Protein backbone atom coordinates (compact mmCIF):
# COMPACT_ATOMS: atom_id res chain seq x y z
CA UNK A 1 0.00 0.00 0.00
CA UNK A 2 1.22 3.47 -0.84
CA UNK A 3 0.99 6.04 1.93
CA UNK A 4 -0.12 8.53 -0.70
CA UNK A 5 -3.73 9.76 -0.73
CA UNK A 6 -5.66 7.41 -3.09
CA UNK A 7 -6.45 10.17 -5.62
CA UNK A 8 -2.75 11.12 -5.85
CA UNK A 9 -1.62 7.49 -5.86
CA UNK A 10 -3.70 6.73 -8.94
CA UNK A 11 -2.32 9.79 -10.74
CA UNK A 12 1.32 9.58 -9.68
CA UNK A 13 1.95 5.85 -9.43
CA UNK A 14 -0.66 4.76 -11.97
CA UNK A 15 -2.15 2.46 -9.32
CA UNK A 16 -4.90 0.21 -10.68
CA UNK A 17 -8.22 1.38 -9.31
CA UNK A 18 -10.36 -1.76 -9.33
CA UNK A 19 -14.02 -1.48 -8.36
CA UNK A 20 -13.64 1.29 -5.77
CA UNK A 21 -11.78 4.11 -7.50
CA UNK A 22 -11.10 7.48 -5.89
CA UNK A 23 -13.85 9.94 -6.78
CA UNK A 24 -14.89 13.58 -6.86
CA UNK A 25 -17.38 15.58 -8.91
CA UNK A 26 -16.79 18.65 -11.05
CA UNK A 27 -18.78 21.54 -9.53
CA UNK A 28 -19.21 19.51 -6.35
CA UNK A 29 -19.42 22.78 -4.43
CA UNK A 30 -22.32 24.74 -5.83
CA UNK A 31 -25.97 25.59 -6.08
CA UNK A 32 -27.39 22.06 -5.73
CA UNK A 33 -26.33 22.23 -2.05
CA UNK A 34 -28.59 24.25 0.29
CA UNK A 35 -25.60 25.09 2.51
CA UNK A 36 -23.87 26.64 -0.56
CA UNK A 37 -26.92 28.76 -1.39
CA UNK A 38 -27.00 29.98 2.18
CA UNK A 39 -23.37 31.19 2.18
CA UNK A 40 -23.69 32.52 -1.37
CA UNK A 41 -26.62 34.71 -0.26
CA UNK A 42 -24.59 35.98 2.69
CA UNK A 43 -21.56 36.82 0.53
CA UNK A 44 -23.53 38.93 -1.95
CA UNK A 45 -22.20 38.33 -5.46
CA UNK A 46 -20.52 35.17 -6.73
CA UNK A 47 -17.17 36.96 -7.10
CA UNK A 48 -17.46 38.32 -3.55
CA UNK A 49 -17.58 34.70 -2.44
CA UNK A 50 -14.63 33.71 -4.64
CA UNK A 51 -12.42 36.49 -3.22
CA UNK A 52 -13.40 35.85 0.43
CA UNK A 53 -10.86 33.24 1.66
CA UNK A 54 -12.79 32.22 4.77
CA UNK A 55 -16.10 31.70 2.94
CA UNK A 56 -14.50 30.18 -0.18
CA UNK A 57 -12.67 27.69 2.04
CA UNK A 58 -15.88 26.81 3.85
CA UNK A 59 -17.73 26.28 0.55
CA UNK A 60 -14.91 24.04 -0.76
CA UNK A 61 -15.28 21.83 2.31
CA UNK A 62 -19.10 21.60 2.16
CA UNK A 63 -19.30 18.60 -0.23
CA UNK A 64 -16.38 16.91 1.56
CA UNK A 65 -18.21 17.14 4.91
CA UNK A 66 -21.36 15.66 3.36
CA UNK A 67 -19.88 12.96 1.14
CA UNK A 68 -16.13 12.60 1.87
CA UNK A 69 -14.86 12.75 -1.71
CA UNK A 70 -11.25 11.72 -2.46
CA UNK A 71 -10.46 15.24 -3.66
CA UNK A 72 -11.57 18.78 -2.87
CA UNK A 73 -11.32 21.41 -5.60
CA UNK A 74 -10.48 25.02 -4.81
CA UNK A 75 -13.66 27.10 -4.94
CA UNK A 76 -12.97 29.80 -7.51
CA UNK A 77 -13.63 30.36 -11.21
CA UNK A 78 -11.64 30.26 -14.43
CA UNK A 79 -12.57 33.91 -15.12
CA UNK A 80 -10.56 35.36 -12.23
CA UNK A 81 -7.57 35.22 -14.60
CA UNK A 82 -8.88 37.73 -17.20
CA UNK A 83 -10.03 39.86 -14.30
CA UNK A 84 -6.54 39.82 -12.78
CA UNK A 85 -5.10 40.78 -16.17
CA UNK A 86 -7.34 43.86 -16.28
CA UNK A 87 -10.48 42.90 -18.24
CA UNK A 88 -13.78 43.66 -16.55
CA UNK A 89 -15.67 40.50 -15.42
CA UNK A 90 -19.17 40.47 -13.95
CA UNK A 91 -21.55 37.67 -12.99
CA UNK A 92 -25.17 38.67 -13.33
CA UNK A 93 -27.71 36.46 -11.59
CA UNK A 94 -29.19 33.89 -13.92
CA UNK A 95 -27.24 35.21 -16.91
CA UNK A 96 -23.74 33.79 -16.59
CA UNK A 97 -20.54 35.79 -16.97
CA UNK A 98 -20.28 39.12 -18.81
CA UNK A 99 -16.89 40.55 -19.76
CA UNK A 100 -15.99 44.11 -20.74
CA UNK A 101 -14.43 45.08 -24.10
CA UNK A 102 -11.18 43.30 -24.83
CA UNK A 103 -8.23 45.64 -25.39
CA UNK A 104 -5.06 43.56 -25.64
CA UNK A 105 -2.80 46.58 -25.24
CA UNK A 106 -4.30 47.28 -21.80
CA UNK A 107 -3.96 43.81 -20.33
CA UNK A 108 -1.05 43.20 -17.99
CA UNK A 109 0.29 42.25 -14.60
CA UNK A 110 -0.15 45.51 -12.73
CA UNK A 111 -2.93 44.22 -10.46
CA UNK A 112 -2.36 40.50 -10.99
CA UNK A 113 -0.96 39.61 -7.59
CA UNK A 114 -3.27 41.90 -5.68
CA UNK A 115 -6.39 40.43 -7.34
CA UNK A 116 -5.33 36.80 -6.97
CA UNK A 117 -3.77 36.79 -3.51
CA UNK A 118 -7.12 36.00 -1.78
CA UNK A 119 -7.36 32.89 -3.99
CA UNK A 120 -3.93 31.75 -2.81
CA UNK A 121 -4.96 32.38 0.76
CA UNK A 122 -8.05 30.23 0.17
CA UNK A 123 -5.83 27.38 -1.06
CA UNK A 124 -3.69 27.44 2.06
CA UNK A 125 -6.74 27.66 4.32
CA UNK A 126 -8.30 24.62 2.62
CA UNK A 127 -5.15 22.54 3.19
CA UNK A 128 -5.27 23.51 6.86
CA UNK A 129 -9.00 22.83 7.18
CA UNK A 130 -8.79 19.39 5.51
CA UNK A 131 -6.15 18.33 8.03
CA UNK A 132 -7.92 19.94 10.97
CA UNK A 133 -11.27 18.34 10.16
CA UNK A 134 -9.66 14.91 9.75
CA UNK A 135 -9.92 14.51 5.96
CA UNK A 136 -6.43 13.02 5.73
CA UNK A 137 -7.26 11.01 2.60
CA UNK A 138 -8.69 13.96 0.64
CA UNK A 139 -6.35 15.69 -1.81
CA UNK A 140 -6.61 19.35 -2.84
CA UNK A 141 -6.93 20.23 -6.53
CA UNK A 142 -6.00 23.69 -7.84
CA UNK A 143 -7.12 24.70 -11.32
CA UNK A 144 -7.23 27.18 -14.15
CA UNK A 145 -9.09 27.50 -17.42
CA UNK A 146 -7.02 26.54 -20.45
CA UNK A 147 -5.87 29.51 -22.57
CA UNK A 148 -8.27 28.59 -25.42
CA UNK A 149 -11.36 28.43 -23.19
CA UNK A 150 -10.46 31.60 -21.28
CA UNK A 151 -9.85 33.35 -24.63
CA UNK A 152 -13.34 32.25 -25.74
CA UNK A 153 -14.93 34.19 -22.87
CA UNK A 154 -12.57 37.17 -23.32
CA UNK A 155 -13.25 37.57 -27.04
CA UNK A 156 -16.97 36.66 -27.03
CA UNK A 157 -17.56 38.88 -23.98
CA UNK A 158 -19.33 36.01 -22.20
CA UNK A 159 -20.76 32.61 -23.06
CA UNK A 160 -21.57 31.67 -26.65
CA UNK A 161 -23.33 29.00 -28.68
CA UNK A 162 -21.36 29.25 -31.91
CA UNK A 163 -18.05 30.94 -30.97
CA UNK A 164 -17.94 32.76 -34.31
CA UNK A 165 -16.13 35.81 -32.91
CA UNK A 166 -13.26 33.98 -31.25
CA UNK A 167 -12.87 31.46 -34.08
CA UNK A 168 -12.84 34.24 -36.67
CA UNK A 169 -10.13 36.07 -34.73
CA UNK A 170 -8.12 32.84 -34.34
CA UNK A 171 -8.41 31.85 -38.00
CA UNK A 172 -8.26 35.31 -39.62
CA UNK A 173 -5.74 37.13 -37.41
CA UNK A 174 -3.50 34.36 -36.07
CA UNK A 175 -0.80 36.77 -34.94
CA UNK A 176 -3.06 38.82 -32.73
CA UNK A 177 -4.75 35.71 -31.38
CA UNK A 178 -1.40 34.08 -30.70
CA UNK A 179 -0.38 37.11 -28.65
CA UNK A 180 -3.50 36.68 -26.51
CA UNK A 181 -2.88 32.94 -26.07
CA UNK A 182 0.73 33.53 -25.12
CA UNK A 183 -0.25 36.06 -22.49
CA UNK A 184 -2.82 33.62 -21.08
CA UNK A 185 -0.34 30.74 -21.12
CA UNK A 186 2.26 32.72 -19.22
CA UNK A 187 -0.33 34.07 -16.75
CA UNK A 188 -1.73 30.56 -16.18
CA UNK A 189 1.73 29.23 -15.35
CA UNK A 190 2.31 31.99 -12.79
CA UNK A 191 -1.18 31.47 -11.34
CA UNK A 192 -0.84 27.68 -11.04
CA UNK A 193 2.67 27.89 -9.55
CA UNK A 194 1.33 30.18 -6.84
CA UNK A 195 -1.54 27.74 -6.14
CA UNK A 196 1.00 24.90 -5.77
CA UNK A 197 3.15 27.04 -3.46
CA UNK A 198 0.03 27.71 -1.38
CA UNK A 199 -0.75 23.98 -1.04
CA UNK A 200 -2.49 22.60 -4.14
CA UNK A 201 -1.50 18.92 -4.51
CA UNK A 202 -2.75 18.40 -8.08
CA UNK A 203 -3.88 20.65 -10.92
CA UNK A 204 -6.77 20.43 -13.36
CA UNK A 205 -6.82 22.45 -16.60
CA UNK A 206 -10.40 23.05 -17.81
CA UNK A 207 -10.72 23.35 -21.59
CA UNK A 208 -14.51 23.39 -21.75
CA UNK A 209 -14.68 24.62 -25.36
CA UNK A 210 -11.88 22.49 -26.85
CA UNK A 211 -14.52 20.68 -28.90
CA UNK A 212 -15.53 23.59 -31.13
CA UNK A 213 -12.25 23.75 -33.11
CA UNK A 214 -11.16 21.88 -36.23
CA UNK A 215 -8.07 19.65 -36.02
CA UNK A 216 -5.58 22.32 -37.01
CA UNK A 217 -7.12 24.77 -34.53
CA UNK A 218 -7.16 22.11 -31.81
CA UNK A 219 -3.46 21.39 -32.27
CA UNK A 220 -2.48 25.07 -32.23
CA UNK A 221 -4.84 26.52 -29.64
CA UNK A 222 -5.57 23.57 -27.33
CA UNK A 223 -2.60 21.18 -27.46
CA UNK A 224 0.28 23.67 -27.87
CA UNK A 225 -0.54 26.04 -24.97
CA UNK A 226 -1.49 23.14 -22.68
CA UNK A 227 1.80 21.41 -23.46
CA UNK A 228 3.66 24.57 -22.56
CA UNK A 229 1.86 24.90 -19.21
CA UNK A 230 2.50 21.23 -18.40
CA UNK A 231 6.20 21.47 -19.31
CA UNK A 232 6.74 24.60 -17.21
CA UNK A 233 5.00 23.19 -14.16
CA UNK A 234 6.82 19.85 -14.48
CA UNK A 235 10.18 21.61 -14.49
CA UNK A 236 9.55 23.15 -11.12
CA UNK A 237 7.07 20.71 -9.55
CA UNK A 238 7.59 17.27 -11.13
CA UNK A 239 5.68 15.63 -8.28
CA UNK A 240 2.42 17.56 -8.80
CA UNK A 241 0.10 15.66 -11.17
CA UNK A 242 -1.84 17.50 -13.86
CA UNK A 243 -5.24 16.50 -15.28
CA UNK A 244 -6.40 17.95 -18.60
CA UNK A 245 -10.07 18.27 -19.58
CA UNK A 246 -10.40 19.00 -23.32
CA UNK A 247 -14.18 18.68 -23.32
CA UNK A 248 -15.65 17.49 -26.62
CA UNK A 249 -12.26 16.62 -28.18
CA UNK A 250 -13.58 13.34 -29.68
CA UNK A 251 -10.82 11.39 -31.46
CA UNK A 252 -8.40 14.23 -30.67
CA UNK A 253 -8.32 13.04 -27.05
CA UNK A 254 -5.52 10.72 -28.19
CA UNK A 255 -3.05 13.32 -29.56
CA UNK A 256 -3.99 15.56 -26.60
CA UNK A 257 -2.78 12.86 -24.20
CA UNK A 258 0.24 11.91 -26.31
CA UNK A 259 1.46 15.44 -26.84
CA UNK A 260 0.58 17.56 -23.80
CA UNK A 261 2.23 15.32 -21.19
CA UNK A 262 -0.73 15.39 -18.77
CA UNK A 263 -0.80 12.71 -16.05
CA UNK A 264 -4.55 12.34 -16.27
CA UNK A 265 -7.33 13.12 -18.71
CA UNK A 266 -10.95 13.90 -17.86
CA UNK A 267 -13.48 12.50 -20.34
CA UNK A 268 -16.77 14.08 -21.34
CA UNK A 269 -19.82 11.77 -21.51
CA UNK A 270 -19.56 11.24 -25.28
CA UNK A 271 -16.28 9.30 -25.02
CA UNK A 272 -16.63 5.51 -25.17
CA UNK A 273 -15.18 4.06 -21.95
CA UNK A 274 -14.29 0.83 -23.77
CA UNK A 275 -12.22 2.87 -26.22
CA UNK A 276 -10.67 4.89 -23.39
CA UNK A 277 -9.64 1.69 -21.55
CA UNK A 278 -7.95 0.37 -24.65
CA UNK A 279 -6.38 3.53 -26.06
CA UNK A 280 -5.99 6.15 -23.31
CA UNK A 281 -5.54 4.21 -20.08
CA UNK A 282 -2.21 2.65 -21.16
CA UNK A 283 -0.93 6.22 -21.59
CA UNK A 284 -2.35 8.08 -18.59
CA UNK A 285 -4.90 8.04 -15.77
CA UNK A 286 -8.49 8.39 -16.95
CA UNK A 287 -11.18 10.39 -15.12
CA UNK A 288 -14.91 10.63 -15.82
CA UNK A 289 -17.42 10.43 -17.38
CA UNK A 290 -20.97 9.93 -16.05
CA UNK A 291 -23.42 12.23 -17.84
CA UNK A 292 -24.46 14.78 -15.16
CA UNK A 293 -28.06 14.32 -16.31
CA UNK A 294 -27.78 10.61 -15.34
CA UNK A 295 -26.92 11.73 -11.81
CA UNK A 296 -29.84 14.16 -11.78
CA UNK A 297 -32.33 11.71 -13.34
CA UNK A 298 -31.25 8.75 -11.19
CA UNK A 299 -33.07 5.41 -11.34
CA UNK A 300 -31.98 2.30 -13.25
CA UNK A 301 -30.38 4.42 -15.97
CA UNK A 302 -27.92 5.88 -13.51
CA UNK A 303 -27.16 2.50 -11.94
CA UNK A 304 -26.45 0.90 -15.31
CA UNK A 305 -24.34 3.81 -16.52
CA UNK A 306 -22.18 3.82 -13.35
CA UNK A 307 -21.73 0.02 -13.46
CA UNK A 308 -20.66 0.15 -17.10
CA UNK A 309 -18.09 2.90 -16.48
CA UNK A 310 -16.65 1.11 -13.42
CA UNK A 311 -16.45 -2.20 -15.22
CA UNK A 312 -14.83 -0.76 -18.37
CA UNK A 313 -12.15 1.21 -16.52
CA UNK A 314 -11.41 -0.99 -13.49
CA UNK A 315 -8.23 -2.58 -14.87
CA UNK A 316 -6.21 0.64 -15.09
CA UNK A 317 -5.59 3.91 -13.28
CA UNK A 318 -9.01 5.52 -12.96
CA UNK A 319 -10.79 8.29 -11.02
CA UNK A 320 -14.59 8.38 -10.99
CA UNK A 321 -16.14 11.72 -11.92
CA UNK A 322 -18.91 13.21 -14.01
CA UNK A 323 -18.37 14.14 -17.66
CA UNK A 324 -19.13 17.78 -16.77
CA UNK A 325 -20.30 19.75 -13.72
CA UNK A 326 -23.11 18.83 -11.30
CA UNK A 327 -26.35 20.41 -12.56
CA UNK A 328 -27.87 22.84 -10.07
CA UNK A 329 -31.28 21.09 -10.01
CA UNK A 330 -29.68 17.80 -8.85
CA UNK A 331 -31.07 16.57 -5.51
CA UNK A 332 -28.24 16.15 -2.97
CA UNK A 333 -29.64 12.67 -2.16
CA UNK A 334 -28.62 11.60 -5.68
CA UNK A 335 -24.99 11.97 -4.64
CA UNK A 336 -25.63 9.69 -1.63
CA UNK A 337 -27.09 7.18 -4.05
CA UNK A 338 -24.03 7.49 -6.30
CA UNK A 339 -21.77 6.91 -3.28
CA UNK A 340 -23.58 3.66 -2.56
CA UNK A 341 -22.99 2.54 -6.14
CA UNK A 342 -19.30 3.38 -5.84
CA UNK A 343 -19.21 1.34 -2.62
CA UNK A 344 -17.23 3.97 -0.78
CA UNK A 345 -17.74 4.80 2.87
O1 LIG B 1 -16.74 22.85 -7.31
C2 LIG B 1 -16.00 23.18 -8.27
O3 LIG B 1 -15.96 22.53 -9.34
C4 LIG B 1 -15.03 24.32 -8.09
C5 LIG B 1 -15.40 25.61 -8.52
C6 LIG B 1 -15.57 25.96 -10.00
C7 LIG B 1 -16.53 26.91 -10.43
N8 LIG B 1 -16.35 27.15 -11.76
C9 LIG B 1 -17.54 27.53 -9.55
C10 LIG B 1 -18.70 28.23 -10.14
C11 LIG B 1 -14.82 25.59 -11.12
C12 LIG B 1 -13.70 24.56 -11.23
C13 LIG B 1 -15.32 26.35 -12.22
C14 LIG B 1 -14.76 26.28 -13.58
C15 LIG B 1 -15.42 27.00 -14.67
N16 LIG B 1 -15.99 28.23 -14.65
C17 LIG B 1 -15.48 26.52 -16.01
C18 LIG B 1 -14.88 25.23 -16.52
C19 LIG B 1 -15.76 24.05 -16.24
C20 LIG B 1 -17.07 24.04 -16.98
O21 LIG B 1 -18.11 24.16 -16.30
O22 LIG B 1 -17.07 23.92 -18.22
C23 LIG B 1 -16.15 27.49 -16.77
C24 LIG B 1 -16.46 27.41 -18.26
C25 LIG B 1 -16.47 28.58 -15.90
C26 LIG B 1 -17.13 29.87 -16.26
C27 LIG B 1 -18.42 30.05 -15.56
N28 LIG B 1 -18.55 30.22 -14.19
C29 LIG B 1 -19.72 30.10 -16.11
C30 LIG B 1 -20.02 29.94 -17.59
C31 LIG B 1 -20.61 30.32 -15.07
C32 LIG B 1 -22.09 30.56 -15.20
C33 LIG B 1 -22.85 29.32 -15.37
C34 LIG B 1 -23.36 28.83 -14.04
O35 LIG B 1 -23.24 27.61 -13.80
O36 LIG B 1 -23.86 29.66 -13.30
C37 LIG B 1 -19.87 30.34 -13.86
C38 LIG B 1 -20.38 30.54 -12.48
C39 LIG B 1 -19.98 29.57 -11.42
N40 LIG B 1 -18.72 29.04 -11.26
C41 LIG B 1 -20.81 29.07 -10.38
C42 LIG B 1 -20.02 28.24 -9.57
C43 LIG B 1 -20.42 27.53 -8.31
C44 LIG B 1 -22.27 29.46 -10.14
C45 LIG B 1 -22.28 30.83 -9.56
C46 LIG B 1 -23.37 31.12 -8.57
O47 LIG B 1 -23.30 30.69 -7.40
O48 LIG B 1 -24.30 31.84 -8.96
Share of the chain above pLDDT 70, in %: 99
207 is catalytic: no
Mutate to test the pocket of ligand 1, among 30, 72, 97 (most ligand atoms within 8 A of CB): 30
What is the phi/psi pair of residue 242, to 5°?
Answer: -125, 130
Alpha carbon of 153 to ligand 1 centroid (Å): 13
Alpha carbon of 41 to ligand 1 centroid (Å): 16
Write the CA distances from 214 to 176, 195, 271, integer angstroms: 19, 32, 18
Confidence check: pLDDT of 91 > 90 = yes
DSSP for 118-129, written as a single string: HHHHHHHHHHHH
What is the phi/psi pair of residue 223, to 5°?
Answer: -65, -50
294 is catalytic: no
40 is catalytic: yes
Alpha carbon of 177 to ligand 1 centroid (Å): 25
Alpha carbon of 95 to ligand 1 centroid (Å): 12
pLDDT in tens, 298-325: 999 999 999 999 999 999 999 999 999 9
Distance of alpha carbon 278 from the chain centroid:
24
Rg (Cα) of the chain, in Å, rounded? Answer: 19
Residue with CA nearest ligand 1 atom 3: 27
Separation between Cα atoms, residue 343 and residue 332, nearest integer Å? 17
**Average pLDDT of span 118-145:** 98
Alpha carbon of 150 to ligand 1 centroid (Å): 12
Work out which ligand 1 atom sits closest to the CA atom of 208: 22
Q: What's the pLDDT at 345?
A: 64
Confidence check: pLDDT of 343 > 90 = no
**Average pLDDT of span 103-129:** 98
Domains and CATH numbers, the chain: 6-341 (3.20.20.210)
Report residue 148's pLDDT band, with 50, 70 and 90 as the boundaries.
very high
CA-nearest of 213, 191, 178, 205 to 287 is 205
Q: 206: Cβ below 6 Å to ligand 1?
A: yes
pLDDT in tens, 226-239: 999 999 999 999 99
Q: What's the pLDDT at 93?
A: 78
Q: 143: Cβ below 6 Å to ligand 1?
A: yes
Confidence check: pLDDT of 153 > 70 = yes
Q: 158: Cβ below 6 Å to ligand 1?
A: no
Q: 40: Cβ below 6 Å to ligand 1?
A: yes
77 is catalytic: yes
Residue with CA nearest ligand 1 atom 13: 77
Q: What's the pLDDT at 3?
A: 83
Confidence check: pLDDT of 1 > 70 = no
Residue with CA nearest ligand 1 atom 20: 208
Q: What's the pLDDT at 276?
A: 98
Residue-averaged pLDDT of the chain: 97
Q: 159: Cβ below 6 Å to ligand 1?
A: yes
Q: 24: Cβ below 6 Å to ligand 1?
A: no
Separation between Cα atoms, residue 156 and residue 164, nearest integer Å? 8
Q: 141: Cβ below 6 Å to ligand 1?
A: no
pLDDT in tens, 170-208: 999 999 999 999 999 999 999 999 999 999 999 999 999
Work out which ligand 1 atom sits closest to the CA atom of 76: 5
Confidence check: pLDDT of 95 > 90 = no
- Give 162-165 contacts, CB < 8 A, sequence gap 24+: 163/209, 163/212
Q: What's the pLDDT at 112?
A: 98
31 is catalytic: yes
Is there a contact between 173 and 165 (Cβ–Cβ < 8 Å)? no
Q: 73: Cβ below 6 Å to ligand 1?
A: yes
Alpha carbon of 323 to ligand 1 centroid (Å): 14
Amino acid sequence: MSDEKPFLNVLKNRAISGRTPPWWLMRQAGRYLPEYREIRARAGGFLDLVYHPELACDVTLQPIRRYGMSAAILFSDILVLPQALGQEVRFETGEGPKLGDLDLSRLGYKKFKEVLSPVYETVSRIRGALAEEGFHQTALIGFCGAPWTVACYMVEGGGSKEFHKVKTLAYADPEKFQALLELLTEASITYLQAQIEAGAEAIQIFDSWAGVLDEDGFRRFVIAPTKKIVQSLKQKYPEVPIIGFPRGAGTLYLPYVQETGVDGVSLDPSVSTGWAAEVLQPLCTVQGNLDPVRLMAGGDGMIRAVEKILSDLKNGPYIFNLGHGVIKETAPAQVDMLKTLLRVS
